[in-house]
Amino acid sequence: MTQQAYPIRNARPEEFEQIGKLLVQVYSQLEGFPKPEEQPAYYHMLSAIGEVTRNPGTELLVAVSPDDRIAGVVVFFSDMQYYGSGGIATQEKHAAGFRLLAVDPATRGQGVGKLLTRACIRKAKELHRAQVIIHSTKAMQVAWQMYEALGFKRAEELDFMQGSLPVFGFRLLLT
């Protein structure tokens, strides 16, 4: 399937529960990533992902297959104060960010993650943001490599610890 087969749109409220389950499935299966019993609050946030859409400028984006199945998801933040990570990222000015990128295991390797990332970059540019902020972990090497291939650079000042898990910051300058 080509990338064009996965249009990006805002998630519908009736899809929030399904999206939460996809996020829990994807993140709980990452090798080296904390499991639900280790970070229950984090997994509760994933399960209730629709709640983020209550924040201004926060969008839950989905890539959908031709038969309208959710192939991937990401949360886009046009205002970093709602980004919800540790560290100093929420204090970044003139920035947009995205978090919680997840691709259904059945559609991995088909460019869905890249499509969702590019959609977030496009939104940030349309909003005249100077940069896009993201975070990743060592457990997310495939995504990490994709981000760097798209021009994101490590930003050590954005790093933080999520419990005992090191989380690494990246930024893409848009100017």
Q: Read off the pLDDT of residues 103-114 as tens digits, 9 standing for 90 and up.
A: 999 999 999 999
Mean pLDDT of 82-105: 93
- Residue 79, domain CATH: 3.40.630.30
Residue indicated by tokens 């046009």: 78
Residue numbers of the domain that contains 107: 3-173
Where residue 4 falls among pLDDT bands split at 50, 70, 90?
low
Q: What is the pLDDT of residue 68?
A: 85
- Digit-coded pLDDT (tens) for 125-147: 999 999 999 999 888 888 889 99
Written as one string, the DSSP assignment of 63-96 is: EE-TTS-EEEEEEEESSGGG---STTGGG-SSEE
**pTM (2 decimals)?**
0.93
Number of other CB atoms surrounding residue 2 within 10 Å: 7
Q: What is the pLDDT of residue 168?
A: 94
Q: What is the pLDDT of residue 3?
A: 46
Mean pLDDT of 145-173: 93
How many domains does the chain fold into? 1
